[in-house]
Amino acid sequence: MKKAFLFLGAVAVSAAVGGATAWCISDNSSGVQYIEREVERTPALGAQFTAYEAGEFPDLTYAAENAVKAVVNIEAMQQVEVQHRGQFGTDPFLEFFGIPQERPHSNGGPRYQQRKAGGSGVIISEEGYVVTNNHVVEGATKLRVKLSDGRAFDAKLIGKDSATDIALLRIDAEELPTLAFGSSDALRLGEWVLAIGSPFDLQSTITAGIVSAKARNLNAIPNDFSIESFIHTDAAVNPGNSGGALVNTHGELVGINTLIKSQTGSYIGYSFAVPEAIVRKVVVDLKEYGFVQRALLGVTFRPIDQDFIDNEGKHMGITEIGGVYVGEIVEGGAAAKAGIRKGDVILDIDGVRLSSSATLQEQIARRRPNDRVNLSVKRDGKVKQIEVVLRNKADKPELLAPEAVDVIEALGGKFQEADERLCRKLEIKGGVEVISIKANGVLARGRVKPGLVITHINDRPVRTIDDLRRLTEKIRTIDGVYPNGRAASYVLVE
């Protein structure tokens, strides 16, 4: 038995490591005597604790040494437009001293510079499929994957989903080490997990921690329809870990490390991973269709927590924590068709209790349009079971065709609905205002400026973000009005 000693002056203090042996100290004129005796260590159990299983202590070496082989480093190259220096595109200071400089093109066109960003990924099949984060590959013009054995391959982007921050790549290689999917549902609080990735470009870095919480919603993914139900751990994760593996003690993939919560930009104790249940579904869709077959329930909701009860619940006759309150019903959506009403309380989905909004998001995100779910709904003090057939974003109970377009993703921007004041000023019945524009999207390519209030796409009225979400056709025309009243029309030419 290993013994740890701390000596303070002339007094010896002993502590047994592991709890199997206790040490007694006897101080007399002949010196210090150590008397060994066996003690039985029985953990005390508090209320609602599960049974303690003696001997079930994790050995992380098996999981680490096997899983690390399937975790890769991803290098993403981007072409970034840079501004010219000086009137003629050069630095006058360097010009004065005769230092050679690269001259811009004589036609005054834009100059581009190649920049590199890094992240991690996980090989999930011998055919070369690699899962990572969307933000790792966003805007990349070239992707390079480096394996743990040193080999490197160019990668092809199969598909990406900004709502869950997941992307799927493929490399042309054989005999690849792979990581099997585990079960994020089976994870228990306090269970040991490993985070594997390339923080600060240090490939094959392994850190360990425990599951601190499940179904965390941080409102961190920059997407108007983001789906967040993160696994929260205290495994050390830093920039470069994004897209890497979160594995259990069996060496199975249970999550994709995605972000940290920090005031410094580096790890300070919290890290978050997209759960395997969402990753697996997104990957299958991206592989099969190139986009995610998103199922929608067609409601807006709020979790019923103590804050809800204190501020609103008492007036509504809601006094018990748990479930989600249905605030609005989308006309023509899945919930409306099934008979769910505003003011209903959804308690569970297929037997899974809804303790937070993240739990509801995760349960729906696992499914496809036309899937059926059973909801326990509380109405007027009575609980009833309602079967709902989930619908796609066009409010139809079928899978979207392969040529369907995610219009919000294709536009490439951040949006908000125009308020009443702006609508009155511009003399419009409604619209969606462009708040910001991302590179490489339709808006950026069409030289659209922030502030445009989109009123029509492909001659179809757009008054709300839901109208924008329902569109599935390829974008041909965009009509709108700028805040100064100037009308604008954009025609997209291939």
Which residues are identified as catalytic? 135, 165, 242
Q: Give the E-state strand segments of 186-250 in sequence order.
A: 192-197, 205-216, 230-233, 245-247
Nearest-angstrom CA–CA distance, 110 and 114: 13
Considering only the C-alpha atoms of the chain, give the largest distance between any 2 of them, rounded to a whole number of Å.
Answer: 100
How far apart are alpha carbons 401 and 426 in whole angstroms?
36
Cβ(349)–Cβ(342) below 8 Å: no
Smallest Cα–Cα separation from 302: which of 354, 374, 225?
A: 354
Angstrom distance (rounded) from CA 158 to CA 173: 16
Q: Residue 167: which H helix or E strand, with range? A: strand 166-171
Produce one character per residue of 303-331: b if its CB has 16 or more CB atoms within 10 Å, e if not: bbeeebeeeebeeeebeeebbbbbeebbe
CA distance 261 to 392: 33
- Whether 257 contacts 273, CB under 8 Å: yes
Write out the two tokens for 281.
């579904």
Output phi, psi for 408, to 5 deg: -65, -45
CB distance 369 to 334 below 8 Å: no
Task: Tell how far CA 228 is from the center of its chain.
Answer: 6
- What is the rounded CA–CA span in Å between residue 255 and residue 184? 7
